[in-house]
Amino acid sequence: MDRVQFRGTICGAIRHKLIPTPQNLVTSTPLTTTYESFFGLHPLSQVLDRKNPLTQIVHGRKLSYLGPGGLTGRTANFRIRDIHPSHYGRICPIDTSEGINVGLIGSLAIHARIGHWGSLESPFYKIFERSKKAQMLYLSPSRDEYYMVAAGNSLALN
């Protein structure tokens, strides 16, 4: 059997699916169903709201106490739903859902960010006594208790 005839025999066998190819051996169905079940059926997974760019940004900055390992709207008490001092500058106290989920779904404050270890950080200005220079730093709730924090509209007197 010469080389051309052998090649024709193999190509014909592949065409008639007698010799397995990677496409024949590996099916993508289990992988596809796993992705669909995780992203489509998970309670914390949502379809992005694409009405306009602003709604996309707001949708991406939502926070939730609900879901697996979290709370339900019926079991959460008022203490959990109320504003905590550690929310200052991190979670917007105004933007929350209405109805049974009030206080359980909120939004990040406008200048808040998610830190390196996953904690919410808010910006503060560190003001030095003798210089007029101010340095901006982001503090997590565990770090801001070691600083004296004043409101932005208060005067610092000597």
Q: Which residues partner with 123 through β-bridges?
A: 138
Residue 33 lies inside a defined structural domain of this protein: yes
- Do 22 and 61 share a structural domain? no
- Do 67 and 137 share a structural domain? yes
Residue 151 lies inside a defined structural domain of this protein: no
> Which residue is listed with tokens 């008022």?
78
- Do 78 and 7 share a structural domain? no
- Do 81 and 28 share a structural domain? no
Predicted confidence at residue 14, as pLDDT, reads 67
How far is it, in rounded angstroms, from Cα 139 to Cα 120? 8
Predicted confidence at residue 3, as pLDDT, reads 66
Span 97-115, mean pLDDT? 87
Q: Round the average pLDDT of the chain to a whole number and report it.
A: 79
pLDDT band for position 152 (cuts 50, 70, 90): low
Predicted confidence at residue 38, as pLDDT, reads 79
Q: If we measure between CA atoms, which residue out of 129, 126, 131 comes closest to residue 146?
A: 126
How far is it, in rounded angstroms, from Cα 154 to Cα 119? 28
- Do 92 and 15 share a structural domain? no
The domain containing residue 98 runs over which residues? Answer: 53-146
Q: Taking 50 as the threshold, does the pLDDT of residue 114 lie above it?
A: yes
Span 111-133, mean pLDDT? 84
Overall number of domains in the chain: 2
More confident residue, 132 or 61: 61
Predicted confidence at residue 24, as pLDDT, reads 65
Residue 48 lies inside a defined structural domain of this protein: no
Which two tokens mark 19? 């010799």
Q: Is-above-0.75 flag for pTM? A: no
Q: Taking 50 as the threshold, does the pLDDT of residue 158 lie above it?
A: no
Span 104-115, mean pLDDT? 88
Looking only at the bridges linking them, the beta strands covering 120-127 and 134-139 are antiparallel
> Which residue is listed with tokens 């008639």?
16
- Do 70 and 113 share a structural domain? yes
- Do 77 and 36 share a structural domain? no
- Do 9 and 58 share a structural domain? no
- Do 125 and 58 share a structural domain? yes
- Do 28 and 61 share a structural domain? no
Q: Taking 60 as the threshold, does the pLDDT of residue 53 lie above it?
A: yes
How far is it, in rounded angstroms, from Cα 62 to Cα 66? 12
